Amino acid sequence: MGTQPSKIALLVSSLISLSAFSAQAEETNITSANIDETITVTGSRFDRTADQQLTVINTIEREEIVRLNPKSVADVLETLPGVSVSRNGGAGQATSISIRGSNSNHVLVLVDGVKVGSATLGTVSFNTLSPENIERIEVLKGPRASVWGSDAIGGVIQIFTRQLSGGEWFAGAEYGSDDYIRGSFGAGMSHGEGSTTIAVNHEQSKGYDVYNGAEVENDDDGYKRNALSLKGSQQINSNWQAIWNGQYDKGNTQYDDIYASGSADESDYENYLWNLAGQYHNDKFTSKLALSQSRDNNENFRGDDASVAIAEFETKRDQVNWSNQYLAADELTLTGGIDWSTEQVKGDYAQDQRDIFAVYALVQKQWSKLLAEVAVRYDDVENIDNELSYNASLAYQFNEQWSFAATTGTAFKAPTFNDLYWPDSGNPELLSETAESYDLTLHFNNQAFRAYISVFQNKIDNLIAWAPTGEKDDFGWDIWKPANINEAKITGVELSAHYQLFGLDHQLGYTYLDAENTQTGEQLIGRSENEFNYMLSYTWLQFDLLANYHYQGKRYAGSEQFLDAYHKLDLSVGYQIDDAWSLRLKANNLFDEEIISDKNYFGPGRELFFSVSYQAF
């Protein structure tokens, strides 16, 4: 793999010369006559138009996902400002997502409203999720524990699975580099005043050798991924509606163990979630009761001998959510509810289950050009502590184009079961990590151009890290355990814009970060000071073109070492044969740049993919 910075610089300068500034779609403005009426739900759990949102929420719709033709959810998220991705290799490898410089376990991830992820590691396996089954992604920036509870320190990512009307269906096939193969199918079925969508997807790739360093295993690290999603609703009468959805993911990932020769080098996963809900709605009042369950299961083993180094990790989470919204007046909205969940983990833990009970309330009020919102939530996490979280926001509409919003809030992250109860090394005295955040955002919107710039700061206390206890083991070695010893301060600027010029659609996102461990004065590991994304798209007759350029600045790797900055250019060309049939050619990392987002792993080099799809309406 080689680098060609001169070619990249020439291309980027040519693209930017077409525009002064461009951006990712955003739904955060207060009322404006020209604003797109995109509906989001992550900010308050209920449908809200852009003029009702006070926090920055980026959305990516199905149409853009198709043009991006991603091989992982991370490929989609990386196009957004303020979202940073670190990969242990390619699409099937472990991936970390950071929002505005927060830790990867400081991001709450929901699938159709259901919390997913591991309660042992505290993270989400993004490599197990199939982009082909996704209809829309909403990414909320900044703390939102006041509505969603634990983990939402950096932000919230909510993934919505595909939904078709009765009689609609699609099918697709794809082949590409490293013997990548994909097949997908989905159909919508009507039943009276309702419909149900079922979608299936299979992907596999032989992969490549991801390890960056001395030989550990000279092998390809491939993956297989199967996904099934079910989503539907039934209108019982004018007021009552039943809602259901489910997701099942099963697969295998091969990887390189960089720490110990002969240990586990493969992982099987089998994850699922289901959700059943009933909703009552009239002109003033909406109430929704949802019952759900999710499971995150991983089994690690040695590929050439499945009896060696077996380790299994499983989280099962039962959830009950009761959410309500009342339109008390034309300009006053009251929202509130109760959440209960129980987390169970499999393993030799001193404690393998805990209950979490929470109540929350949100009030939004408009006075002419002024919009205010206050949200408060109380969480009781069994055997840990109680947390009171809040968000307070105020926005002012100067005119139809310009508006300004100020937000402050707190959030927390409950310790994981590994932190608390891992045999011989857990610390049951740990407290939750806590954060306090401030955000100032200026928005501009008209028919031709929409943009925002945010200045934010997030202070995180009681960060959990390994530390010596002062005790010695039987061999005289120091005993280390997790402790609430670290503090961090993250300050940054986030810029997003979107406009059309010369028949081209331009989108741009830029993030500046100053992320510091305030205990040591060092930069936080894995953060870039500068990150930039530029997307250019064009449609002509039956053709569409999308060029996506990503710049990742150098990242601190610890011990006064840095990972090199890199550039990445992807191109996607589609051809619509007729109303149903379409073809697409995708090139990733066109200039074969050497990409290392984690110091021990290579990213893929140049990749090519060809797909054919059919969609009936």
Asked whether the predicted pLDDT for residue 35 surpasses 50, the reply is no
Residue 57: per-residue pLDDT = 93
Residue 31: per-residue pLDDT = 33
CA distance 332 to 324: 14
In this prediction, residues 564-591 reach a mean pLDDT of 96
Looking only at the bridges linking them, the beta strands covering 107-111 and 155-161 are parallel
In this prediction, residues 433-462 reach a mean pLDDT of 95
* Contact call for residues 220 and 231 (beta carbons, < 8 A): no
At 469, the pLDDT band (50, 70, 90 cuts) reads confident
Residue 602: per-residue pLDDT = 86
What's 127's domain CATH number?
A: 2.40.170.20
In this prediction, residues 350-378 reach a mean pLDDT of 95
Residue 520: per-residue pLDDT = 87
Asked whether the predicted pLDDT for residue 306 surpasses 80, the reply is no
Residue 217: per-residue pLDDT = 62
Return the percentage of the chain with pLDDT > 70, whole number.
91
Residue 11: per-residue pLDDT = 36
Return the percentage of the chain with pLDDT > 90, whole number.
71
Residue 578, classified by CB atoms within 10 Å of its CB into exposed (0-12), middle (13-18) or buried (19+), is exposed
Residue 448: per-residue pLDDT = 84
- Enclosing domain of residue 269: 5-616
At 336, the pLDDT band (50, 70, 90 cuts) reads very high
270: CB partners within 8 A, 6+ apart? 249, 250, 295, 297
- The pLDDT mean for the chain works out to 89
Residue 211: per-residue pLDDT = 82
CA distance 324 to 285: 7
Residue 517: per-residue pLDDT = 92
At 216, the pLDDT band (50, 70, 90 cuts) reads low
Residue 598: per-residue pLDDT = 79
Q: Which residue has the higher pLDDT, 23 or 133?
A: 133
Q: How many domains does the chain have?
A: 1
Task: Report CA torsion sign: 114, 56, 363, 143.
Answer: positive
Residue 285: per-residue pLDDT = 96
Residue 24: per-residue pLDDT = 33
In this prediction, residues 127-152 reach a mean pLDDT of 94
